[in-house]
A and B are shown apart, each in its own frame.
Chain A
Amino acid sequence: MKNLDSIFWAYILGWAIFFGFFVSIAKRSNDLRAEVDRLKRSLGNSQEK
């Protein structure tokens, strides 16, 4: 049924957008966390000096 196709695509695309948004947040969070570790390490090093 053609109409079911349209509904299927609407749901899939919609959920893909929400999922993509969530994944982008998660990725940016991970990158930030890595940078926090890097910064904390370099701060730790400079404090030891």
Chain B
Amino acid sequence: MCLAVPARIVEMENDKAVVDALGNRWNVRTTLTPEVKMGDIVLIHAGFAIAKVDEEDAKETWELIAQFDEFQQKRDESSKES
């Protein structure tokens, strides 16, 4: 339940923001992280940014998520072939 994903702030007005992770966009609140600004990467849990994240660390997670997708695709293709 305490899952959280890193996402980049692409729109922001007061404590309401739109974030983007790998092209997926959604609305979040930045009430708990008043120091963040447009373009920052934040960790999102249950609709709230809970921490600011380093660019490098976020990239690592995004790459991992992209690899899951790739893996899933390959698995689906190979199951179709067999």
A and B interact physically: no
B→A interface (CB under 8 Å): none
Interface of A toward B, CB cutoff 8 Å:
none
